[in-house]
Amino acid sequence: MLYEINEKALKLEREGKKIIRLNLGDPDMSTPSEIVEAAYASMKAGNTKYSSSYGEQKLRQKIAEMHGVKTENVGITPGSKWAIFSTIFLTMKNGGNIIIPTPYWTAYDLIAKTIGAKTKLLKTEMETNWKVNLDDLEKLIDNETKMIILNNPNNPTSKIMDDKTLDGIVEIANKKGIIILSDEVYGAIAFNKTKSILDYGADSKHILSNGFSKTFTMTGWRIGYIVANKMLIDQVTKLNQITFNNVPVFIQDAATKGLELHKQIAENIKAKYKQRADLASKKLGEAGFKFTQPDAPFYLFPKREGLDGEKFTLNLLDNGVAVAPGTSFGDYQEHFRISLTAPDNEIETGLDKICEATQ
């Protein structure tokens, strides 16, 4: 229902209605001007031709340095979504199943089903701090299981996986020969330290997907990357060659500029979202919602017992606030997701309307 809510919100806006949009992970802030200027300079310099489907060497090198891997382990993609789609497509095209802990980002399931792969959902719950139960995971694995998708930090809960649980998942995956695809797109701006799948070695079969959207406020630029073993990067590149060919070079140059300013930009963004998360926690807590404290931007995933999340979401949209129902992320009817990606005053008004709506 995530996309339907968004299309409805866009429709209401086109009809002239003011909608406070807390339904998407699309920051209200602008892309830093240094990044815009770098793109323009690159365009003017004539970087408007076809280029390598691996991505530009300079950008790959910078990403490789940042993660402590080799350049050959890095592939540039049009957003982290393509990193996820392409690796699932290549891993699952001969069938099999994927285990996905829930709550989860809708796209994983949609991608798997579009490709014809089966998914097995592993439910985690707020009451146990969204922890993956390792015994349950092991029981869910069968001979057809080829992949586990982790989202760390998680969308929609903004929880970071504790080291011990992640160690346990990696151990199980290694033992059974299962690939972990770890989507860490919120990792660089997390409030607390996040252990990466790359901490277990870049030459393993595991895959990191990441992007520039969240860290550099570059959602609409569509640039992300994969870190994986060379063989997979080569395969993804072959798929790139017959699909989109390459991310525009001037966009890659803009992302390279972003990486040069990485620390400064990431710190600013982190501070901003921490402030918003604190405000939201306070208001929602006072209104009696239950939720876990976010470890990262942008989301809260509050619960109220007995809530019909879809009805609540639709009513709220009629009242001018767009959020996403919990059912968009799995079997979470009593939850909904708030994305703190609107201007501060809108977030405040939006939160007030949310708190009133459930009285």
Q: Where on the chain is the footprint of a copy of itself (CB under 8 A)?
A: 3, 10, 24, 26, 30-31, 36, 39-40, 43-44, 46-52, 78-79, 81-82, 85, 93, 107, 110-111, 114, 116, 217-222, 239, 241-251
- Between 79 and 294, name the residue whose CB sits nearer to a copy of itself: 79
Q: Which is nearer to a copy of itself, 180 or 251 (CB)?
A: 251
Q: Which is nearer to a copy of itself, 194 or 213 (CB)?
A: 213
Q: Which is nearer to a copy of itself, 162 or 344 (CB)?
A: 344
Question: Tokens 């909608």 map to which residue?
Answer: 19
Q: How far is the CB of 245 from a copy of itself (least distance, A)?
A: 6
Residue with Cβ nearer a copy of itself (93 or 164): 93
Nearer to a copy of itself, 141 or 147 (CB): 147
Q: Minimum distance between the CB of residue 238 and a copy of itself, rounded to whole angstroms?
A: 8
Pick between residue 173 and residue 236 the one whose CB is nearest to a copy of itself: 236
CB 149, min distance to a copy of itself, A:
13
Q: Between the CA of residue 60 and those of 48, 72, 189, 263, what are the distances in Å?
A: 19, 8, 20, 18
Minimum CB separation of residue 81 from a copy of itself in Å reads: 6
Name the minimum Å distance from CB 111 to a copy of itself. Answer: 5
For the bound state, the minimum distance from the C-beta of residue 229 to a copy of itself, rounded and expressed in Å, comes to 20
Least distance CB 343 / a copy of itself (angstroms):
13
